[in-house]
Structure 1
């Protein structure tokens, strides 16, 4: 859905004769969410995310923020687990593992 929304915005500009920077207006915003989601997929397979999921130290705010990403809100720039996904996953995994 995000890809379609971004693409439709770019196409609308093109049809109006407005110059478009595809990298800045389509690729970079799309890759933000893709890379965020990728962090958690890779984290599952390298077990860092599994350490977080199965920890006994529950934090409902953190859980809600990560679940939001997995539900498709990987483009939410207000979610610290999306904005700095790699750093956040690393830090959280260290906390949960200790």
Structure 2
């Protein structure tokens, strides 16, 4: 069973786990790593953990909220900005826009 709300980017499964419907990843922070990797031409499996740059639990909580938000941080020598709408910018250029 899948439950969705109009403003919710998350899908809740009957077993209680959440899956990010935008890319099928378990969390917005993991989805973000894949967006950065694709934009920079990097292999996400060889990139340093995102939690070395930002508190990923806090990032996921903020990005899953319905509050309009933009978070910026440095990662892998790049300035990354992500919004609650899942827009991602790397060094000021759009990496992904929902």
What is the TM-score with the length of structure 1 in the denominator?
0.30
Greater RCO (CA < 8 Å, at least 6 residues apart): 1
Say which structure is richer in strand: 2
What is the TM-score with the length of structure 2 in the denominator?
0.30
Larger Rg: 1
